Amino acid sequence: MRRLLYSFITLFVLATTIFGLVRLTGDPAILLTPEGATELERIQIREDLGLNETLLSQFGRFISEVATLDFGTSFHLGQSVTDVYFDRLPNSILLVTVAMAFALALGIPAGIISAIYNGRWMDFAAKSLALTGMSIPGFVMALTMMFFFSVKFSWLPTFGIGTWKHLVMPGIALGWYFAASTLRLVRSTMLDVLSSDYVKLARLKGVKERRVVMRHAFANVLIPLISLTGVNFVVMINAATIVEVIFVWPGLGSLLLEAVGERDFPLVQGIVVMSGTLIIITNFLIDIVYAWVDPRIRLTR
Amino acid sequence: MSISDSDSPLETSQEIRQGPKDEGSTSDLQEQGPTSRRARFRTVFGFIGQLPVGSTLILGTLIFFAVFAPLLAPHDPIKPVEGIYTYTPAAWKDGGSWAQWLGTDFLGRDVWSRIIYGARVSVIVGLTGTAAAGAIGMVMGVVAGYFGGWVDAFIMRVVDAWLAIPTLVLAILLSMTLGASMWNIVLILGVVYWTRYARILRGEVLTLRERDFVKLAEVAGASRIRIIARHIIPNVFNTWMVLASLTVGVVIVAEASLSFLGV
């Protein structure tokens, strides 16, 4: 209950912050009118958009909009913000899911391998592979991949959405960064667990090494891994902006960037508040998954 | 008589007091001078010897170029090279020349010089941006953790809200408001990245606050500001440094992404 209250306060702070921030950036009427427009036309537009009201009444209207989850009409698209948002959301989720799958598929095995072969060349190789992704900015990675896979070999399409081929490069460009943090977590937790008494006991009992690693050691990695993945999932939706812009992926990141550029107040506010709500829901889901994975938590509650 | 009597013991006592002191200090210098210098030399040398070779070389080169950029760059990074106003390829390709060995960009600016000056911007923004974020985060985290109550609740809700806004979008919104100069970018990166410090330092302070030495300082009547400055901050400084070292890279990449998006 307390957490629910906190969530609402967080949402309120978020809404207030973003409401203030977008209004600091300038006047949308200048962008919405053609070059030689008169002041009268601009005043007309401000009146149409409801920007001539006092800040307080605008804020009141915005908060009541948030409460009903209806964010009004986008300034420059002319469509309902909620419609635009839910049009783009599946694309974002698709991209982030693929990227996360790539991050986990690279990070977990690499983490396990580097923990088992701690200090040897396999450890070094796995770590280098993951750290490469962390230290290269997303756009450099994206453009380099485009150069090789699209321009040189023309295996993959450079931009757009449609087939699975469109997903490969954005997924890797976005996911590689997160593979590194996954690897670190898996590696350090595995190292801890592998030197624990019950793993030694299991080995003494003659349990096969494969089973020791997967069953006894890896099971302990799951809890922190879920927590990290949950956080990363949210961070990823936000971090996807650059990748979406480069690959012209019609997701939420590029939509938000476009909205910011156009000073489209309702759209910016809508996307940010909706994403905030999603984050809060995700955090709740993570807690539920915890209990499902770890019997200890389930029993104590 | 009485004066001389009282004078002489004073003098002798001064002599006695000064004598051994002088001798001691000179003998200290003579005996320990070389060893302490050697020890100091050894600690400095040992410190250098302990540094990982690869990373030190990379960072050293980067900082060297950043510091001496005006001396090392053959051309002005902003103006086109005299006589060249278009793209030229690198020296090992057809049509390239060793005068501009990495070639020039589409405005005729020397790429090598631009890389050297770029190192300077990266180092400055990386370090100052991290420092800005660290400063805000330290204040917020320590205040939230130490004072607790509604202050803590409020700051933590702000941190949560910050997490929900995409960092790049927040940075772009701020730069549209402030205008995009290098120092504004530093400030913006500070405003964007302080939350991770605040969250972690708050947790540290929460446990520190319950420790005996803080309780004793409170009982002894130390003011809150003194406790924070003398007892809390020195104890979270280690964590702060680790966070800062992790943030430098993030900040540099963020700055690169911002300039890629044209901020």
Structural domain boundaries in chain B = 121-260
CATH top-level class of B121-260: mainly alpha
Distance separating the N- and C-terminal Cα atoms of chain B: 89
Give the CATH number of the domain where residue A240 resides.
Answer: 1.10.3720.10
Are both A62 and A102 inside the same structural domain?
no
Residue of B nearest to A278 (CA): B164
* In-domain check, residue A181: yes
Q: Rounded distance, CA B196 to CA A77, Å?
A: 35
Put simply, whether A128 touches B (Cβ < 8 Å) is: no
| Candidate from A6, A260, A272 with C-beta closest to B172 | A260
Calculate the CA dihedral of residues A128, A132, A135, A141 and round it to 10 degrees. 180
Put simply, whether A6 touches B (Cβ < 8 Å) is: yes
Q: What is the DSSP letter of B104?
A: B
Q: What tokens appear for A204 in the block? A: 């003494």
Identify all chain B residues contacting A242, using CB atoms and an 8 Å cutoff.
168, 257, 260-261
Are both A201 and A275 inside the same structural domain?
yes
* In-domain check, residue A84: no
Cβ separation of B161 and A14 shorter than 8 Å?
yes
Which pLDDT value is given to residue B45?
A: 63
Residue of B nearest to A271 (CA): B165
End of a domain among A35, A68, A101?
Answer: A68
Residue of B nearest to A259 (CA): B169
Sign of the torsion formed by the C-alpha atoms of A259, A263, A264 and A267 = positive
Distance separating the N- and C-terminal Cα atoms of chain A: 15
Residue of A nearest to B166 (CA): A238
Are both A188 and A267 inside the same structural domain?
yes
Identify all chain B residues contacting A88, using CB atoms and an 8 Å cutoff.
none
Q: Rounded distance, CA B179 to CA A296, Å?
A: 53
Are both A64 and A94 inside the same structural domain?
no
* In-domain check, residue A252: yes
Cβ separation of B172 and A14 shorter than 8 Å?
no
Are both A96 and A209 inside the same structural domain?
yes
Q: In angstroms, what separates the C-alpha of A69 from chain B's closest C-alpha?
A: 17
Are both A64 and A35 inside the same structural domain?
yes
Are both A46 and A117 inside the same structural domain?
no
Residues of chain A under the 70 pLDDT cut = 1-2, 31-37, 160, 295-301
**Whether the model pTM is above 0.90:** no
Identify all chain A residues contacting B163, using CB atoms and an 8 Å cutoff.
234, 279
Sign of the torsion formed by the C-alpha atoms of B68, B72, B77 and B79 = positive
Cβ separation of B169 and A256 shorter than 8 Å?
yes
Are both A157 and A35 inside the same structural domain?
no
Identify all chain A residues contacting B170, using CB atoms and an 8 Å cutoff.
21
Are both A64 and A113 inside the same structural domain?
no
* In-domain check, residue A80: no
Put simply, whether A57 touches B (Cβ < 8 Å) is: no
Cβ separation of A256 and B167 shorter than 8 Å?
no
Q: Rounded distance, CA A70 to CA B254, Å?
A: 32
* In-domain check, residue A249: yes
Identify all chain B residues contacting A134, using CB atoms and an 8 Å cutoff.
249
Are both A42 and A179 inside the same structural domain?
no
Which pLDDT value is given to residue A298?
A: 62
Identify all chain B residues contacting A238, using CB atoms and an 8 Å cutoff.
165-169
Are both A97 and A166 inside the same structural domain?
yes
Identify all chain B residues contacting A10, using CB atoms and an 8 Å cutoff.
157, 160-161, 164
Length, in residues, of chain A: 301
Which pLDDT value is given to residue B220?
A: 87
Identify all chain A residues contacting B261, using CB atoms and an 8 Å cutoff.
242, 245, 257
Q: Residue holding tokens 């590194």? A: A180
For residues A178 and A99, the answer to whether their CB atoms sit within 8 Å is yes
Interface of A with B in 198-227 (CB under 8 A): none
| Candidate from A11, A13, A260 with C-beta closest to B169 | A260
- Residue numbers of the domain that contains A106: 89-300
Cβ separation of A17 and B166 shorter than 8 Å?
no
User: How many structural domains comprise chain A?
Assistant: 2
- Best mutation target among A2, A5, A14 (most B Cβ atoms within 10 Å) is A14
User: What would the pLDDT profile of A210-238 be if each residue is shown by its tens digit?
Assistant: 777 777 778 778 877 887 787 787 778 77
Put simply, whether B107 touches A (Cβ < 8 Å) is: no
Q: What tokens appear for B209 in the block? A: 């606050």
Q: Confirm whether the ipTM is greater than 0.85.
A: no
| Candidate from A6, A17, A242 with C-beta closest to B168 | A242
Strand partners, A73: A80
Put simply, whether A92 touches B (Cβ < 8 Å) is: no
Residues of chain B under the 70 pLDDT cut = 1-49, 82-83, 85, 91, 95-96, 263
Are both A55 and A160 inside the same structural domain?
no
CA atoms within 13 A on the CB side of B65: 19
Residue of A nearest to B159 (CA): A10
Q: What is the DSSP string of A36-61?
A: T--HHHHHHHHHHHT-SS-HHHHHHH
Identify all chain A residues contacting B153, using CB atoms and an 8 Å cutoff.
6, 9
- CA B164, B168, B174: angle at the middle one, nearest 5? 95
For residues B211 and B152, the answer to whether their CB atoms sit within 8 Å is no
* In-domain check, residue A79: no
Put simply, whether B163 touches A (Cβ < 8 Å) is: yes
Put simply, whether A267 touches B (Cβ < 8 Å) is: no
Which pLDDT value is given to residue B12?
A: 40
* In-domain check, residue A77: no
Put simply, whether B98 touches A (Cβ < 8 Å) is: no
Residue of B nearest to A277 (CA): B164
Of the candidates A175, A164, A109, A107, the one whose C-alpha atom is nearest the C-alpha of residue A136 is A175
Which pLDDT value is given to residue A33?
A: 67
Cβ separation of A137 and B177 shorter than 8 Å?
no
Q: Rounded distance, CA A62 to CA A80, Å?
A: 14
